[in-house]
Amino acid sequence: MSIKKRFQPRLEQREADYLYRRRPLVFSAQQPDMNINGIECINFSSNDYLGLANHPQIKQALIEGLQTQQDLSYGSGAAHLVTGHHLHHHLLEDELADWLGVERTLLFSTGYMANLAVQQTLMHAGDIILADKLNHASLIDGARLSEADFKRYPHLDMQALERRLQQAQAKHSQAMIVTDGVFSMDGDIAPLKAMQQLAQKYQAWLFVDDAHGIGALGEHGKGCFEHFGLQPDENTILVGTLGKAFGTSGAFVAGSSVLIESLIQFARPYIYTTAMPQLNALAIREALKLVKNGQASRETLQQNIKHFREGALQIGLQLWPSDTAIQPIMLGKSDTAVEWSEALKQAGFWVTAIRPPTVPQNQARLRVTLSAIHTPEQIDQLLDALKAIQSTSSV
């Protein structure tokens, strides 16, 4: 059978079901005012929560680095364990660890790789992974690629999680609780205090992917743990990504020295891949300074979230219960979500339609993401456009 014969019918069916995805082409810097697919629009789909992706201080650090640091190249040339581990990588890992109050951190080129590495490396045959039903795809794939049993509990259901932990304890199985910090399509936050208590009670390990919390939540931007006034313990594995609130790219795993050394020695996605560019590490170090001193931006982001939610509820939109920068507008059917998204584009707003399999059936939505550099006027304009679309829709 040819590739075309196998996949052409699936592609056609996906198109018919309003599930086909196309890559938008960007012609501008990453910021609220953008040119996407030739459309001048206000972008409400980026994860650039603090507005750092186009920050002049990061750009200047890169320019100065290229001009003054003769020991700095773009390409790292090899994996970290060969010749790719540059001084800027090493300093960045130390600075992230000091900031988060953990023993060590370890850089990865993407959050997806980090999530694959942790579960493949730490979880063995006879162990059990207990994962929230709505975890990110990378967490699901990491669990499937490990040798451990993989069980999922209903979203945020701590009673169901405890029952699973009791079953694991009865079997003398090492359990790992796996969760997003902020759920990427819903915007709600995992109840980390309860989860940490359960992990300690049943001697389980707690693995938190805080991709959408790091930088954006907590007084100092340390993410969901700081948001709840918690500190990771020695059996906590924390993943943070650097392509969202940090405005750069890459990811890190944070935790104990034994955890990090185990990943260096045994994690295939770490061992067998080229290190991130040296210039990216330099950019992240500059971004970390901005995140550390970004309380004013985080406060502005919270004001923008409050502004949007109050306006959206006032005009009768169905929002998910989220207090984060991710604000889903629930529409149900995939064709409705696509129609609303296209109508917003025509009105000058870029808001992505999220459809199955990314979200459950009949839970298609618009995923509005807010940034500290959105203005109140831009948010009001979006609300006006949504109100106009709603007046002509059957939803």
Residues of the binding site for substrate = 21, 136, 358
Rounded CA-CA distance 1/166 in Å is 48
CA distances from 76 to 112, 200, 284, 304 (A): 20, 40, 15, 39
Rounded CA-CA distance 111/115 in Å is 6
Residue 219 in tokens: 């007084």
Phi, psi of 35 (to 5 degrees): -115, 110
Could you list the residues known to form a binding site, using ranges.
21, 111-112, 136, 184, 212, 241, 358
Using CB atoms within 10 Å of the CB of residue 216, give its burial: 0 to 12 exposed, 13 to 18 middle, 19+ buried: buried
Residue the block writes with tokens 């009949």: 362
Could you list the residues known to form a binding site for pyridoxal 5'-phosphate, using ranges.
111-112, 184, 212, 241
Contacts (Cβ under 8 Å, ≥6 apart) of 176: 119, 122, 123, 127, 128, 129, 130, 148, 204, 205, 206, 207
Using CB atoms within 10 Å of the CB of residue 124, give its burial: 0 to 12 exposed, 13 to 18 middle, 19+ buried: exposed
Rounded CA-CA distance 389/386 in Å is 5
- Candidates 44, 37, 3, 40; CA nearest to 23 is 37
List active site positions: 184, 212, 244
Rounded CA-CA distance 134/359 in Å is 8
CA distances from 50 to 134, 214, 248 (A): 25, 11, 12
- Candidates 22, 14, 96, 13; CA nearest to 352 is 22
Rounded CA-CA distance 234/297 in Å is 31
Residue 156 in tokens: 């945020």
